[in-house]
Amino acid sequence: MNTKGYSTRDERRLLDALGRGLLKDFPNPERSGCPGSEVLKRIASRTMPLDESEKWLDHLGSCSPCYGDFSEFRRVYELRQKRTLLAIAASILVVAGIAGWVLLQRHNDALVAQTAVVDLRDRSLPRGTQSNPAQSPLVVSRAARRWNIYLPLGSSEGSYEIRIVTESGGLLMETTGEAKLESGIALLPVDVNLPLGSSGRCNLETRRNAGEWNTFPLVLR
């Protein structure tokens, strides 16, 4: 027999015995033979081994005050259990919510880190493969895999060629993209795949319809 807890059968036996003791049918104003509140609390909370609680079953079934105390202790115990379960469930939901938010933020941060804005709107259109030394270089993260290039004011929409070359003329990357006008500004999104270890000063070159290259100083960091 399990002496440390109640099985379903044991609990049914206990409840059947207690069910025989009605709250008003067995008055005991002198509390003769009563086990005391601590014993009743242990029985109600299932912390007393069954072989210890058995000796009190007959008394509980024939003492209305003890049965009333037991019922109240049992109600309080079950209420406390429900509150504990609700608190645990709420804690799990909070933790899950925070974890989900952190994962979403990391995902969003990763997307932001992989996208770079290259703003050429206030840049002049230098002709040829030599950049204007008076212009400060653009600074772009080499980890970005997508560049949103805002072309200089007055640029037209359409197909563009893009390439990135070293200051000595070595080709790092070339691709094409389709520029679309947004509020009068030509936006050219391109996917970028730079060689491993590409960094430092170089040049961004763009041209449309196989025309002349426009060159802008660039720093990959």
Q: Which of 74, 90, 113 is the last residue of a domain?
A: 113
Structural domain span for residue 127: 120-220
Spell out a b/e string for 191-212, using b for 16 or more CB atoms within 10 Å of the CB, else e: ebebeeeeeeebbbbbebeeee
Output the furthest CA–CA distance in the chain (Å, rounded).
110
Q: Based on the fold, state whether residues 108 and 187 are members of the same structural domain.
A: no
Q: Tell the burial category of 20 from Cβ atoms under 10 Å away from its Cβ (0-12, 13-18, 19+).
A: middle
Q: Based on the fold, state whether residues 6 and 108 are members of the same structural domain.
A: yes
Q: Based on the fold, state whether residues 214 and 143 are members of the same structural domain.
A: yes
CATH number of 196's domain: 2.60.40
For residue 93, what are the CA distances in angstroms to 79, 81, 96, 107, 201?
A: 21, 18, 5, 21, 50
Q: Based on the fold, state whether residues 73 and 149 are members of the same structural domain.
A: no
Q: How many CA atoms lie within 13 A of 207 on its CB side?
A: 14
Q: Based on the fold, state whether residues 41 and 96 are members of the same structural domain.
A: yes
Q: Is 162:205 a contact under the CB 8 Å cutoff?
A: yes
Confirm whether pTM is higher than 0.85: no
Q: Which of 113, 134, 150 is the last residue of a domain?
A: 113
Q: Based on the fold, state whether residues 108 and 124 are members of the same structural domain.
A: no
pLDDT of 102 reads: 73
pLDDT of 1 reads: 42
Q: Based on the fold, state whether residues 140 and 199 are members of the same structural domain.
A: yes
pLDDT of 163 reads: 94
Q: Based on the fold, state whether residues 109 and 180 are members of the same structural domain.
A: no
Q: From first to last of the 221 residues of the chain, give the pLDDT tens digit.
A: 444 555 656 665 665 555 554 566 788 888 888 988 999 999 888 888 888 888 888 888 788 888 888 888 988 988 888 898 888 888 888 888 888 777 776 665 555 558 899 999 988 766 655 656 667 889 998 888 899 999 999 899 999 999 999 988 899 999 999 999 998 899 999 999 888 777 899 999 999 988 889 999 999 98
Q: Based on the fold, state whether residues 169 and 109 are members of the same structural domain.
A: no
Q: Based on the fold, state whether residues 2 and 109 are members of the same structural domain.
A: yes
Q: Based on the fold, state whether residues 22 and 103 are members of the same structural domain.
A: yes
Number of domains in the chain: 2
pLDDT of 205 reads: 94
Q: Based on the fold, state whether residues 5 and 109 are members of the same structural domain.
A: yes
